Amino acid sequence: ENGAVTPVTVDASKMSGVESIAILASKNPMPLVCEYSFTDTAIGYVSTRIKMNETQNVIGVVKAGGKLYQVEQEVKVTIGGCSG
């Protein structure tokens, strides 16, 4: 992937009571890339693009019903996107 525009999707649409979704990039200088809060009637789904400087794990954290759920996936970066 091009690290300047790495696509990331977190789909928690089948979960009820999704309160928030956070996306983290484990080796970025600031690992918390973004966090989205949802209303009671919203569908828990986020699709965005993030910057990454190198190959690393991207982590999606879903808060639903007062509990935290996480999924982790390694994303290979061929062109770094955080420098200069």
Q: What tens digit of pLDDT does each residue of 65-82 get?
A: 999 999 999 999 887 656
Q: Is residue 57 part of a domain?
A: yes
Q: Is residue 1 part of a domain?
A: no
**Any idea what the CATH number is for the domain that residue 70 is in?**
2.60.40.2470
Average pLDDT of 12-37? Answer: 96
Dihedral sign for Cα 80, 30, 69, 45, please: negative
* CA 59 from centre of chain: 6
Q: Is residue 84 part of a domain?
A: no
Name the residue range of residue 60's domain: 6-75
Q: How many domains does the chain have?
A: 1
Q: Is residue 71 part of a domain?
A: yes
pTM: 0.88
> Residue 1 has what pLDDT?
66
Q: Is residue 16 part of a domain?
A: yes
> Residue 48 has what pLDDT?
97
Count of residues in the chain: 84
The residue written with tokens 């790495």 in the block is 6
- Of 28 and 36, more confident: 36
Residue 60 has pLDDT above 90, yes or no: yes
> Residue 25 has what pLDDT?
95
Q: Is residue 83 part of a domain?
A: no
Instruction: Find out whether 23 and 8 touch, Cβ atoms under 8 Å.
Output: yes
Which one, of 66, 64, 60, lies nearest residue 47 by Cα?
Answer: 60
CA–CA dist 1, 42 (Å, integer) = 30
Q: Is residue 15 part of a domain?
A: yes
